[in-house]
Amino acid sequence: MKILHMISGGETGGSKKHLLQLFHESPVEMELLLLTEGPFADEARKQGVKVTVIPQKNRFDQSTSGKILTFIQQNGFTLIHSHGAKSNFLINSIRRKMNIPWFITVHSDPSLDFLHQPKVINQFFTFLNKRALRNADHLFAVSEKFKKMLVEMGMKASKITPVFNGIEFHETIPAYDKNQIRAQFNTAETDFVFAIVARLHPVKGHEVLLKAFSKLENNNWKLWIIGDGALRKTLEARAKQLGIQEKVQFLGTRNDVDQLLYAADVSLLTSYSESFPLVLLESADMGTPVIATDVGGVSALVDQGKTGWIIVPGDEESLLHAAEAAISSDTSMMGRQLRKFAVNNFSNANLQKKLLSTYQDFQKIN
């Protein structure tokens, strides 16, 4: 079996991590096809992944499709597995000529993928993406909720397999120097630190986060916003308007996220939509409990009140109450319990086995 994974190559978050981890000690031969050079391609090559880049000039450039088809036909792939709307569009345009099965992992809600675009463009690309999902041979939904969502969108339940993300966990929690990490950001040992790792995009819920935290009665807290995006200036202005600019620190894109999560007391996820967020597993790996919206597969990981808190998406009161509860809880103990459960249930090896068995079952039937 020889598998080609395809993704645009501009990703910096969970989908990139998800994909690169699949290549780690993979039980089958795999290659990676990207549409752009950049940090993703560089990181993959450093990991030893065989990478091919077929550039797409812009999202309307359909000349790339023919080059991708030629590449597939000349390299003897058993199947192609695409990730993300751009890849889905291109493979959909050549699917009848490939003569190999096409799998898609649905990492996010297709209805929200183009939320930041003008309405007409949003509707057009959402339509194209949903059409591609319907035309694929098989879909991986990164939670049971996502499978239900896809069925409600008109996809056949029989061609959807739910899979949970997994990561390579450390054998034990690394012994980082928490106080040294905090000192970089003028954060005291006694401060209660919340950390959120997410691109600054409307779907991630930063606006609700800032509004909720502006109402915290306890004043001994700091909020680390890790990640970047088009909303940064807007969110910085909003924090100032709410009078919490001294409490909120925008750290931008970082390559030491594991250390920041380790040094935080609680990890946050305030998204309106997710599949099964890798950042929650990364938080668990560092022994840090979570406050997360009830999206995707979050409820399969978080035990309410024991390993974290599950809140209502977009509900600042729900978030506020969870933050207040966290400040008065034994978060160290909760983090250890979360880690133990995550290690036993959400490893990268488990994910690899599930994908491979689904590929094999599909081939037997077809």
- Nearest 5°: phi and psi at 318? -60, -45
Q: What structural domains and CATH numbers belong to the chain?
A: 2-168+347-365 (3.40.50.2000), 178-345 (3.40.50.2000)
Rounded Cα gap, residues 119 and 74, in angstroms: 40
Which pLDDT does position 36 carry in this prediction?
Answer: 93
**Residue 62: which residues within 8 A CB-CB, separation 6 or more?**
90, 93
Percent of the chain with pLDDT over 90: 73
Going by pLDDT thresholds of 50, 70 and 90, the confidence category of residue 292 is very high
pTM of the shown model:
0.73
Instruction: Write down the residue that tokens 């898609």 correspond to.
Output: 104
Which pLDDT does position 240 carry in this prediction?
Answer: 97
Cα separation values, 72 from 98, 99, 200, Å: 7, 10, 35
Closest CA to 302 of 350, 349, 346, 355: 346
pLDDT, tens digit, 9 for 90 and up, residues 202-216:
999 999 999 999 999
pLDDT, tens digit, 9 for 90 and up, residues 132-164:
999 999 999 988 888 998 999 999 999 999 988
Q: Is 186 exposed, middle or buried (0-12, 13-18, 19+ CB in 10 A)?
A: exposed
**Residue 76: which residues within 8 A CB-CB, separation 6 or more?**
2
Percent of the chain with pLDDT over 70: 98
pLDDT, tens digit, 9 for 90 and up, residues 57-108:
776 667 899 999 999 999 999 999 999 888 999 999 999 999 999 999 988 7
Going by pLDDT thresholds of 50, 70 and 90, the confidence category of residue 121 is confident
Q: Mind giving me the DSSP string for 5-36?
A: EEE-S---SHHHHHHHHHTTT-SSEEEEEESS
Query: Mean pLDDT throughout 30-45?
Result: 95
CB atoms near residue 190 (< 10 Å): 7
Closest CA to 326 of 340, 306, 341: 306
Which pLDDT does position 60 carry in this prediction?
Answer: 67
Three-state secondary structure call for residue 310: strand
Which pLDDT does position 219 carry in this prediction?
Answer: 85
Both structure tokens of 167: 């990561």
As a whole number, the mean pLDDT across the chain is: 92
Closest CA to 84 of 67, 104, 111: 104
**pLDDT: is 181 or 16 the higher one?**
181
Going by pLDDT thresholds of 50, 70 and 90, the confidence category of residue 115 is low
